Structures are given as C-alpha cells and as structure tokens.
C-alpha cells in the first residue's frame, strides 16, 4: 500500500519512542509530601522540563501548561507553573501503539 506521503507523522515516531516525552518523572520523595507542599514543589520540575526542551513539548509543539494527574483527580497548571485549578475527575492519557511487521 502507498499513502499520500512517504514520511510518517510525528505521532508515529512518538509511539515508536515509547510515548513518554511529555511526562515529568516526579521523585518519590516529592510524591510523599503533604499535598500543599507537593503542589508548591512541582513548578520547579516544570521549569526544569521547559529548560530541558527549550519551552516545547517534543512532538506537541510549544508547551502551554502542565497537569499533575492522580487516580481520581488532577491539578492544572499554566505554562509558568501557577496552579489554575483542581479538577475532580480522572485524567486519562491517550494511547498510542505501533506494530512493525
């Protein structure tokens, strides 16, 4: 089969790479802090992410904000790491899989 383009889209490469480029690994020590202290510590990690990737989110363009997702809720932050709101519903990441035969 042939398609209109011979180059896969960036979502294909994102899937092949494991799809973790848009995540920040939060150290366990921070996760164990009381909620108010934890929320105050997260912006430093967000700033580090922006520095590491030049203000962008690989495969997704310019970073516009962050989410700290938990099982039943998540916290929305703006691009500078300022807390916008707590959202009382689960946040589910999209899924991408690639099969090469």
67 lies in a domain? yes
Mean pLDDT score of the chain: 88
Domain count, the chain: 1
Does residue 17 carry a pLDDT above 90?
no
50 lies in a domain? yes
13 lies in a domain? no
32 lies in a domain? yes
77 lies in a domain? yes
Q: What domain range is 81 assigned to?
A: 28-87
Express each pLDDT in 40-86 by its tens digit: 999 999 999 999 999 998 888 899 999 999 999 999 999 999 999 99
6 lies in a domain? no
63 lies in a domain? yes
CB 48 within 8 A of CB 42: no
- Distance CA(44)–CA(24), nearest Å, equals 11
1 lies in a domain? no
pLDDT value, residue 2: 63
């Amino acid at each position: 089969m042939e398609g209109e383009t011979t180059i896969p889209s960036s979502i294909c490469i994102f899937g092949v790479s494991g799809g973790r480029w848009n995540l920040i690994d939060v150290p366990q020590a921070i996760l164990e802090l009381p909620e108010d202290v934890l929320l105050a510590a997260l912006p430093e990690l967000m700033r580090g992410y922006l520095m590491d990737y030049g203000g962008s989110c690989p495969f997704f363009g310019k970073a516009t904000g962050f989410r700290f997702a938990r099982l039943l809720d998540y916290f929305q932050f703006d691009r500078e790491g300022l807390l916008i709101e707590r959202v009382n519903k689960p946040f589910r990441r999209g899924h991408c899989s690639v099969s090469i035969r």
